[in-house]
Amino acid sequence: MRTARTIPLLVVCSLVVTLGACSSGPAPSAWAASVCKVLTPWRSEIGTLTTRTQQQMTAATTPAQAKENLMRLFGGAESASEKARAGVQDAGVPDVDEGKRVADGFTASLSAMRDAYGKAKTGIEGLATSPAKDFYARVGTVVDTLNTEYKASELDTSNLSSVELQKAFDAVPECR
């Protein structure tokens, strides 16, 4: 038989169970560590690919060689970005206010970067290699578009709406 005292206890217990079920995502520090474990090698790969692209743009190669190399570089960046996007998605939704919006923002940013590299690869693939002067001018246009699209989709952890996540990204060793 339920008494007046047991009813509030049941209500409190059911609220705890309900709220516990809602906050099933990783803690801010765990989420930040997972995300940084994915983004650190991705950033390194993108940096390497960017350096190679710059070298390729100034190297004395034939237009056909440059085209092949650039397609490989942009394809590698596209693949690396997709791998990072999938890794961030696998990290789940952080257990913070607006955690889903934050997680979705990260994956959307990486998706946009992946798509920018894919578009650049396709753009290079569609270029005629002759005459060489025209080819390199069009490569410059493709790279300019890539840079613009990349800049527009950059990840910026310093502007998070979650104080807990800002602190986590500043504190966890994986993000340093």
**Closest-CA residue to 136 (of 79, 80, 59):** 59
Domain assignment of residue 17, yes or no: no
Query: How does pLDDT run across 2-35, given as a tens digit for each residue?
Result: 444 433 333 333 333 333 334 579 999 999 999 9
Domain assignment of residue 1, yes or no: no
Is 0.75 surpassed by the pTM of this model?
yes
Domain of 55, CATH number, reads: 1.20.120
Query: How does pLDDT run across 45-56, given as a tens digit for each residue?
Result: 988 988 887 787
Domain assignment of residue 100, yes or no: yes
Q: Which residue has the tokens 């970067």?
A: 113
Q: Which domain holds residue 150?
A: 25-175
Using CA atoms, how far residue 15 sits from 27, 65, 99, in Å, is: 20, 65, 21
What total of structural domains would you count in the chain? 1
Q: Give Cα 81 to chain centroid, integer Å.
A: 6
How many percent of the chain have pLDDT more than 90? Answer: 56
